């Protein structure tokens, strides 16, 4: 069975709650499609307003981060229980910006991944190499390690529902998109790694996205690759053009 594409937006720390509602009103008709899952990961403070505004539409609202404990003295964090109660179905885990600025490690990514599944939230697990790692020729080795640690203790049934986003750090917010061949090479290596960890069925089911300076013009070629099941879009998800990325095959 063909995997269903995902076009996901990561707004990062952009848009106030009122800007969110205003923008979603504009965006809703532009992203209507039966052909892909559309997900927007908005700042925590806007999740509730975004869920309300997108009710009855095909936009799924996701979170950008989540802690791995259910409740307690963790000032500032939001928990999987809170997301589940709010009806949130997706959460980005291990984005390179969280790894870089907020000390998220591979082990923490694993804990969060396990917790997300426990609460029926699909993790969008981010992996990606730095420019130095690419230049040293250790990209695949490094990504395989990130994937292996992220999936420790995750069952095959859970892994089939997971989403992995390959986001080369050097391509994020730089306007420097990976070539289609570079993106496909790593996404295929990730699928092969999942096949090794689980089996071919799981590898065929899991959805792997590319992220890093995806635009209206680069999306069609990237998303046509056999192992790229869509994109995780940063900057271009903040503007109405995101609708054109959702309709990349039109
Ligand atoms: P840009 O599309 O702005 O490069 O961001 C990519 C990203 O980090 C998505 O999570």
Q: How far is CA 195 from CA 38, 164, 211, 234, in A?
A: 26, 14, 22, 29
Closest of 63, 51, 86, 89 to residue 9, by C-alpha: 63
Q: How far apart are CA 62 and CA 83, in angstroms?
A: 9
Query: Which parts of 64-153 are beta strand (E)?
Result: 90-93, 122-127
Answer whether 0.95 is exceeded by the pTM: yes
Closest of 13, 68, 70, 22 to residue 45, by C-alpha: 13
Which ligand 1 atom sits closest to the C-alpha of 165?
10
What is the distance of C-alpha 66 from the center of its chain? 13
Which ligand 1 atom sits closest to the C-alpha of 172?
4
Q: What is the pLDDT of residues 167-206, one digit of tens each?
A: 999 999 888 888 999 999 999 999 999 999 999 999 999 9
Average pLDDT per consecutive 10 residues, the chain (250 residues; last block may be shorter):
93 98 98 97 98 98 98 98 97 98 98 98 98 96 98 98 98 90 98 98 98 96 97 98 96
- Ligand 1 pocket test, pick from 168, 214, 237, 245 with the greatest ligand atom count within 8 Å of Cβ, gives 214
What is the distance of C-alpha 153 from the center of its chain? 20
Q: What is the pLDDT of residues 236-249, one digit of tens each?
A: 999 999 999 999 99
Catalytic residues: 95, 167
Q: How far apart are CA 230 and CA 165, in angstroms?
A: 9
């Amino acid at each position: 069975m063909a995997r269903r594409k995902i076009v996901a937006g990561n707004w990062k720390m952009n848009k106030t709650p009122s800007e969110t509602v205003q923008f979603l009103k504009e965006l809703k008709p532009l992203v209507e499609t039966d052909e892909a899952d559309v997900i927007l990961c908005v700042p925590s403070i806007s999740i509730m307003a975004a869920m309300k505004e997108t009710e009855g539409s095909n936009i799924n609202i996701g979170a950008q981060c989540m802690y791995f404990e259910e409740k307690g003295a963790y000032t500032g964090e939001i928990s999987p229980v809170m997301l589940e109660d709010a009806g949130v179905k997706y959460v980005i885990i291990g984005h390179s910006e969280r790894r870089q600025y907020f000390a998220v490690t591979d082990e923490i990514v694993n804990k969060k991944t396990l917790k997300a599944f426990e609460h029926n939230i699909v993790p969008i697990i981010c992996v990606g190499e730095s420019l130095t790692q690419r230049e040293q020729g250790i990209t695949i080795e490094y990504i395989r390690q990130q994937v292996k640690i992220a999936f420790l203790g995750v069952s095959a049934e859970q892994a089939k529902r997971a989403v992995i986003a390959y986001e080369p750090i050097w391509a994020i917010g730089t306007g420097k998109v990976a070539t289609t061949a570079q993106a496909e090479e790593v996404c295929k290596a990730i699928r092969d790694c999942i096949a090794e960890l689980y089996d071919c069925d799981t590898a065929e089911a899991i959805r792997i996205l590319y992220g890093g300076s995806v635009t209206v013009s680069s999306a069609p070629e990237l998303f046509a690759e056999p192992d790229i099941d869509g994109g995780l879009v940063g900057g271009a998800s903040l503007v109405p053009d995101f609708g054109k990325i959702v309709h990349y095959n039109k």
